[in-house]
Amino acid sequence: MGMTKKKNAPKYKIEGFRGIFIFLFGLSGIINILALTGALYMMQIYDRALTSGSISTLVALSVLAVGLYLFQGFFDIVRSQILIRLGARLDTELAPLAHKVVIEMPRYGYSTSEAMERGRDVDTLRGFLSGQGPIALFDLPWMPIYLIFVWLLHPMLGMLTVGGALILAILTILAEVLTRRHSQSMVKATVARNSVADSNARNSEIMHAMGITGRAVKRFEAANGRHLECQTATSDIGGTLSGLSKVMRMVLQSAILGLGAYLAIRGDMSAGSIIASSIVTARALAPVDQVIAQWKSVVAARRSRNRLDETLAVINDTSDHVELPAPHKSLSIENITTVAPSTGAVLLSEVTLQLKAGQALGLIGPSGGGKTTLARSILGIWPVLRGSVRIDGADLSQWTENFFHSHVGYLPQDVALMDGTIADNISRFAETPDAREIVRAAQNAGIHEMIVHLRDGYQTELGPHGTALSAGQRQRIALARALYGDPFLIVLDEPNSNLDAEGEEALTRVITKVRERGGIVVIVAHRPSALQAVDMVGLVQNGRLVAFGPKDEIVQPTKVLPIVVDRKPSTAGLKSMSAE
């Protein structure tokens, strides 16, 4: 993970689970002691009931045994129910945090599939907790009870069992060592395969139009093949070792019987003890067996937990910030340098500018010059490496999510609407949307008429990515979304790229209105028609703000400042934010 660590990361309360774990450990002790019932019962039958020939002893012993079995069963059920609920509780606490990570990661240059893995990590953890794995882990430390029991029957039997347990333990460690090497490449292969699947699914249209489907399937096949290879390798190790351990178990079982018989023949032990020792060794080694069988899920759960810990550490939790008064004065950018989160390349350097309430800045410049990067830096989408972005004097990091919700409007260059209704999208999924506000925003964006002509009007479901609308319609709805609630700072990245003449007029009116009410607009534009209502202009070129000032000075009525198209992004090796 290359993201920088933040101090105020939200923490899920694993500490709160400690008490439950101790309780479960104790409960497992009781269960394991009760599990000696069968062995003791056998011994008593052989050595007491059979020799004395007393039916009443047999009945009394049987009733007692059944009672103890019932107790054991009851505690077993309680333990498994606690574990299941523990899994659910962990899920409830973790899932929202993990989902936040899923949302944040793509901003830092991670693929969506990689981000989605974090959501799956929660499932893995919950699944593990409610499966057989933890039960085996809780039973394992109680193994000495059985060893002592066998040892008391005869030290030689004890030694044989300990020897067997050691061999099984070595097999477990071997499994760990051998699979560890593979688990990392396994994760990479999974992410790679999912990335290809994801990208293929998203590009369905061009796949069809340009006949790429066949090749796309081949690409997926290759990624899937690598995934399968890793899968096969780890499964092979697991399968071989669990086969070996099974053989070991059987050999050991017979060896115990054989040794017991030998000791009995020599008169060192009773016949009942042979059976008892056989039952108890089986029970003693069962958790070892289980742990070996469950090793894959133990490893997966541990990996998920580590990964979640790592990623949760980077979420910047603003919930403890002091709420600042609504902004109304200025936006000032002080000497900022921004790097691409994914590659660490410097995309923007030493940009300084200031805007007061009521001003509108038009950003122009050649393609790839850094306009979008500047817009992203202003909104904190990409954290700046150096310098600061201040609103009313306060650095962006001091503002809460609520500030961004109420006082910032953003229209990204690649318009993306969310799965929901038009009203949901415009109101930014507000819990209590203000219908009048929604309509006003739509009217300002010049899209109200079009919306009411739709069959479901503002309640029209847009489907994934808002695909139910044309590109121009989507852009205007996104504009309405940026305007909703009269935010103080509005950043529009090429809002006119899909607009018709009428749409551009609406845009000019919007900018004028925002300026009149004392807001600040930053608008990125290729076409000068979008600059009619702005008073300031900045020229972004080669990752620098090469000119900034009043519009009349920067853009002459007849000629626009010559734009140099040669473009060399400085890629000084600033890898501080790079992904692994």
Question: Is the distance from CB of 374 to CB of 523 less than 8 angstroms?
Answer: no
Question: Which residue in this structure is represented by tokens 């292969």?
Answer: 189
Question: Which range of residues in 78-86, 200-208, 370-378, 384-392 is near Mg ion by CB under 5 A?
Answer: 370-378
Which lies closer to Mg ion via its Cβ, residue 307 or residue 371?
371
Question: Which range of residues in 13-21, 367-375, 396-404, 416-424 is near Mg ion by CB under 5 A?
Answer: 367-375
Which lies closer to Mg ion via its Cβ, residue 412 or residue 485?
412
Which lies closer to ligand ATP via its Cβ, residue 451 or residue 545?
545
Which of 240, 413, 508, 571 touches Mg ion by CB under 5 A?
Answer: 413
Which lies closer to Mg ion via its Cβ, residue 413 or residue 508?
413
Alpha carbon separation from 340 to 314, 364, 370, 383 (Å, rounded): 17, 20, 11, 9
Which lies closer to ligand ATP via its Cβ, residue 307 or residue 371?
371
Closest distance of CB 555 from ligand ATP, Å: 17
Provide the CB-side half-sphere exposure for 403 (13 A, CA).
22
Which lies closer to ligand ATP via its Cβ, residue 81 or residue 367?
367
* Residues in contact with 442: Cβ distance below 8 Å, sequence separation at least 6, in sequence order: 426, 448, 451, 458, 477, 480
Residue 27 structure tokens: 């409960």
Closest distance of CB 314 from ligand ATP, Å: 18
Which lies closer to Mg ion via its Cβ, residue 525 or residue 533?
525
Closest distance of CB 497 from ligand ATP, Å: 9
**Pairing outcome for strands 408-411 and 489-493:** parallel
For residue 340, the partner it binds in ligand ATP, Mg ion, none, with Cβ less than 5 to 8 A by kind, is: ligand ATP
By CB under 6 A, name the binding residues for ligand ATP.
340, 342-343, 347, 365, 367-373, 413, 569
For residue 281, the partner it binds in Mg ion, ligand ATP, none, with Cβ less than 5 to 8 A by kind, is: none
For residue 368, the partner it binds in Mg ion, ligand ATP, none, with Cβ less than 5 to 8 A by kind, is: ligand ATP
* Residues in contact with 518: Cβ distance below 8 Å, sequence separation at least 6, in sequence order: 328, 357, 358, 488
Assign 573 to helix, strand or coil.
Answer: coil
Closest distance of CB 504 from ligand ATP, Å: 18
* Residues touching Mg ion, count (CB under 5 A): 3
Residue 321 structure tokens: 């910030």
Alpha carbon separation from 316 to 312, 337, 399 (Å, rounded): 9, 20, 12
Question: Which range of residues in 68-76, 225-233, 296-304, 406-414 is near Mg ion by CB under 5 A?
Answer: 406-414
Closest distance of CB 535 from ligand ATP, Å: 21
Which of 37, 245, 359, 372 touches Mg ion by CB under 5 A?
Answer: 372
Which lies closer to ligand ATP via its Cβ, residue 61 or residue 492?
492
Which lies closer to Mg ion via its Cβ, residue 308 or residue 374?
374
Closest distance of CB 548 from Mg ion, Å: 18
Residue least distant from Mg ion (Cβ): 372
Closest distance of CB 339 from ligand ATP, Å: 9
**Over the range 131-158, which residues count as b (16 or more CB within 10 Å of their CB) and which as e?**
bebbbbbbbbebbebbbebbbebbebbb
Closest distance of CB 395 from ligand ATP, Å: 22
Residue 132 structure tokens: 């057989």
Question: Is the distance from CB of 543 to CB of 349 less than 8 angstroms?
Answer: yes
Q: Can residue 349 be called a binding residue for Mg ion (CB under 5 A)?
A: no
**For the chain, how far is it from start to end, CA to CA, in angstroms?**
6
**How far is the C-alpha of 540 from the C-alpha of 542, rounded, in Å?**
7
Question: Which residue in this structure is represented by tokens 């660490």?
Answer: 344
**How far is the C-alpha of 483 from the C-alpha of 506, rounded, in Å?**
12
Residues in the site for Mg ion, rule: CB under 5 A?
371-372, 413
